[in-house]
Structure formats: structure tokens, C-alpha cells
Chains A and B, each alone.
Chain A
Amino acid sequence: MFGKGLITGMRVTLKHFFGKKATFCYPEEKLPMPERFRGGHLKLDYKKCIACQLCSMACPNGAIELKVVTDAQRKRHLTSYIHHMGRCMYCDLCIENCALHSLHWDQNYEISAYHREAFDYEVLTDSDREYLKQVMEAAAANPAPPIVPKKPVPPKPAEAAKPEKEGEKAEEKTETEGKPNE
């Protein structure tokens, strides 16, 4: 009989009309995100970070912009960690490449914004900057001894023509900019 299939289909629809709801009211109710969820802002454990810049190098899109400073004890610190979220693919490679596991996602998924500038997210917080200031001052008070230039190696006969390298000097507070990948 023509129309039998239609009626069977309508019966299913009717059953669901009075059945349990499959949806929920989003802004009022929120789903918890699983532990492995990738998304939202980056979270940096600043005290663990050694500013090795591996996260920035692992990024396929160059979405992480770092500024690194060297203190008087020749240790590197981050002065700025900008996560360009507009370029980010949330592929997780930065976090997996972090040697000290100091980088994480926060579990927030509501990242839409009205302005483009909001997507250049500064990961460092004020307390991180405060900590950096303390570390820098402590290092300046107790600077590492300058690197003694190595004695020039007696040149081999074949390389005698080449000019000798000068010994490196201890550089203080040199600001280098993390190059974007590629």
C-alpha cells in the first residue's frame, strides 16, 4: 500500500516527540571537557619553563611568538609568550614537544571574540612577570663569572690560512626574538 512507509516513519517521529530529549540547553548547562581536550588558551607553568623555544619550533604555522632574555647567570627566561590563536590549528604539537611538560591547554572552549586583537593572546600573567623580575635581580646580584676565552688551538697545517675565531664574551641581557618557524 502506498503511504505505509510514510506512516511507519511518522510513528518513529511521534515516539521521539514524547520521548527523552537528546539535546540540552547550552549556555545554562555546560558539558565537562575530557582530560585530553585540546582547545582554548595555552597555560604555561612559568617556573618550570627554561625558554628552550621547542614549542615555537614545533608549530607548523608559526603561531607562537616568543621573546627571550638572558640573565646575568646566563639563564634564559621568557619575557613574552604570544599565542596567535587565529593561526593555531590546535594540533597539540607544541605541548607534546615541551621537554619539561610545562605547557598545557586550559579546558575552556568559549574562545570567540569580537576583535581580532583578542586572538593574540599573551600567555604570561602578572605574577609570572613579577617572578621574572625577582629572578633577574637575584641573578644580577650574583652574576656568573665571565667565560674565559679558550686558548687558540695551534692551527693545523691545512687550516692555517683560515682566520682564527675570537673568544666569545659573556653577553649580558641580550634580547633575542624567537623567530617564527619556517
Chain B
Amino acid sequence: MAGTETYTLNMGPQHPSTHGVLRVQLELDGENIISATPIMGYLHRGVEKMLENRTYVQGVPYTDRLDYVSSMNNNFGYCRAVEELAGIEVPERAEYIRVIVAELNRIASHLVFIGSLAIDLGASTGMLYTFRDREEILDLFNLVCGARMTFHYIRIGGVNRDVQPEFIEKTYKFLEHVPEFMEEYKKILLGNEIFMSRLKGISKLSQETALSHNMTGPNIRATGIPYDIRKVDGYSVYPKFDFNVVTGKNGDNWDRFNVRYNEIFESAKIVKQALDGLPEGPFMAKVPKVLRPPKGEVFSRTEGTRGELGFYIVSDGSTKPYRVHIRRPSFVNMQGLNDMCKGYLIGDSVAAFSAIDPLMGEVDC
């Protein structure tokens, strides 16, 4: 019998299924993957350095450009870190509005995940349905902050402007719509045999491996560890709301999909409760025009859409941060790619990649 030889295949940097510019170096034996090495840095813009060269207030719009599918969560994380550093007390109404927009953005981001996973597996119809419904959320954001992608809505000390009655009314209408379109996805994707066979039992990760790679977010919850910073830390006004942490069992791609699918319902639940209990009051704390936080350092973490989003900021008492480091969940989750691809076929690498749901803007920062 003739011996086989392994060969290297570069998937990307320009590849339709890499969600941006990422190169995955696949070591292949025939069609079997021996190893998959993600090579990053094609979208590096030096956001951390940019933040160090600008004042605290000017830095907020740059965080929009990290995880550009869920910008609200990035704004939230950065503003929370600066507020902690400067000791700014945020009014309760602002916190409620922040939670509403952050959770709406989480729904939008998970819809993109479902759509892109469907299109990566060849079901282009599935993507059209999710993008149709994401459009409703983007229109809501356009109404409240005037932008559809890079929101720059959550500011240091509160939010930019108060929500209009029209926004609240339309959000209620959207929430009524949620079970309807989720039922449609269920019919199109969840019951589909091809979709199931492409995901079930593929790219399994054990709890130990996922933990050793420090994965967070839906990726770790899919392995069965109920780790959600909204519950663990209980930051902002999240402890006031009743919601469950969705977990999976096997840690395969099917569970990763299902965790995100069910998280949409939980997020919708949080938005509903927040809208019902929206208190009156100011939407912005009194923040000095020239913000000079006292000397010190802070690490603040929030539950971003893709996992634990942390901001480490060092202040030297001037108007600009001395050092900013961003713990990006996509970047850390990407480290699990090798273990997820090893031993599976080439076609499964696309599914594995899509199931991690990384965003190149955040991976390269």
C-alpha cells in the first residue's frame, strides 16, 4: 500500500467563510485535518494604541469598531470601565436603557450568527430570513441613535439621548414578533436533516479543553458550564431581571447553535422586563467636560455577545489613558479552533469556524 503524504492548504485570507480576513493554515492528510492554525493580524488597526492617544470621551467611537456586529456591548464595556475608574454614578434610567439596547444588540448579533452559519453550510435561504428580522432591530437603533452599525450611543455616564416613546412602542412590537420568526427558523433550519447532520457530533470539545483554552460566552456554555458574567458578576441592573443561562450538553456544533438560538428568547425576556420597569429620571450623569480620572488602574468585564469582554485601563491622572488593553472574546475563542478541527473533514472546518462565531474586527483589534 502506498504511503500518503500530508500537505498544507491555506484557507483565506480572502475566503467567503472566514467572516473577514483570517488565514487558516490547514495541515491535511487527504481530506482529514491534522491541524488547523489560525493566522491573525490582517485587520490589525491598533485600536488599543489609538485609545491611548485620545481622550476618554473620544475613545468611545473606536470601541464600536471592535465587534462591529454588536457595538452596543462594546460601548457598554468601555464606558463601564471608565466609570469605575472615574467613580461616576450612572442614573438608573440610563442603566435600564443600556440593558435594553445591549440585549437587543445581542439578539441582532445572534441572528447574524444563525444566518452566517446557514450560509456557510450552503443554506443561503436561511441567511435571508435572519437578515430580514435583524433589519427591524437596526431600524430601532437608527431611530434611537441615528446609526445602523457603529452606534456610539452608550456614553461615559449614561446614554447619548433619551429613548423616544416611539422607540418603546416599536420595541414592544418587535418583541411580539420574536416567537413568530423563531418558529420560522425552527421550521427552516432546526428540523432540516442536512443541517442536523452537518452539526451534530462535529467539533466536540470537552469541558476541560474549553476551559484550558479559556473560552467564554456561548462556546463554553455549549459544553455545559453555566458561565455567564451577567449572572456571575451581576453588573449593571441585570440582577433585577429574571432570565436563565442557556447551556448545552455535548459541546458540539449543534449545542453551540442551540445555545445561541435559545439565548435570543432569554434576551427578549430581559428586554421585555426592562421596558416594563423603565424608571423615570435623568439619562446621563453629570460628567465633567474634561474627564481626568484619578491615578489608578481598573479591569472591568462584561458579557459581550461572544463572551467575556474585558477592558483594562491604566490612568496616570491626565485626560488620556496611559494604557488600554482589551480582552477580546473572539480572539481567545479562536484558540480552540485547532482542537475543534483536528480529526474532522475539510468541510467541517468551515462549520467549526462559523460555530465559534469570531469577528475579525475583534480578533485583530
Partners in one complex: yes
CB neighbors of B among A1-41 (8 A): 2-6, 8-9, 11-13, 22, 33-34, 36-39
State the total of A-B contacts with C-beta under 8 angstroms. 67
B192 with A38: CB separation less than 8 A: no
Q: In the bound complex, how far is the Cα of B146 from the Cα of A12, in angstroms?
A: 34
Q: Which of B171-179, B183-191, B239-247 contacts A (4 or more CB under 8 A)?
A: B183-191
Q: Which of B20-28, B56-64, B103-111 contacts A (4 or more CB under 8 A)?
A: B56-64
Partner among B144, B147, B190 whose Cβ is within 8 Å of the Cβ of A90: B147
Partner among B59, B125, B160, B192 whose Cβ is within 8 Å of the Cβ of A5: B192
| List of B residues within 8 angstroms of A96 by Cβ | 160
> Contact string, B293-313, partner A, CB cutoff 8 A, digits 1/0?
000000000000000000000
Give chain A nearest CB distance to B321 CB in angstroms: 13
A5 with B191: CB separation less than 8 A: yes
> Binding site of B, secondary structure by majority: helix, strand, loop or mixed?
helix
Size of A's binding interface in residues, CB under 8 A: 26
CB closest chain-B residue, reference A35? B146
A36 with B191: CB separation less than 8 A: no
* A89 lies within 8 A of chain B by Cβ: yes
| List of A residues within 8 angstroms of B61 by Cβ | 60, 89, 91, 93
| List of B residues within 8 angstroms of A90 by Cβ | 147, 150
Give chain A nearest CB distance to B196 CB in angstroms: 8
* A120 lies within 8 A of chain B by Cβ: no
Q: In the bound complex, how far is the Cα of B151 from the Cα of A90, in angstroms?
A: 10
> Binding site of A, secondary structure by majority: helix, strand, loop or mixed?
loop
A93 with B187: CB separation less than 8 A: no
Most chain A CB inside 10 Å of its own CB: which residue of B145, B146, B192: B146
CB closest chain-A residue, reference B192? A5
| List of B residues within 8 angstroms of A182 by Cβ | 53-54
Give chain B nearest CB distance to A119 CB in angstroms: 18
Evaluate whether A9 and B187 lie within 8 angstroms (CB atoms) in the complex, with A90-B150, A182-B53 already known. yes
CB closest chain-B residue, reference A7? B191
Q: In the bound complex, how far is the Cα of B141 from the Cα of A34, in angstroms?
A: 10
A36 with B53: CB separation less than 8 A: no
B145 with A9: CB separation less than 8 A: no
Most chain B CB inside 10 Å of its own CB: which residue of A4, A6, A9, A92: A9
15 contacts between A and B (CB under 8 A): A5-B190, A5-B192, A5-B195, A6-B193, A9-B191, A12-B184, A33-B142, A34-B142, A34-B146, A36-B161, A37-B142, A60-B62, A91-B60, A92-B160, A182-B54
Rank and list the top 9 A-B pairs by shortest CB-CB distance, nearest first: A5-B191, A36-B146, A91-B61, A60-B58, A38-B146, A9-B188, A5-B192, A37-B146, A91-B152
Q: A90-B147, A91-B60, A182-B54 are in contact. List 9 more A-B contacts (CB 8 A).
A: A5-B190, A5-B191, A9-B188, A34-B146, A38-B146, A39-B146, A60-B62, A92-B152, A182-B53
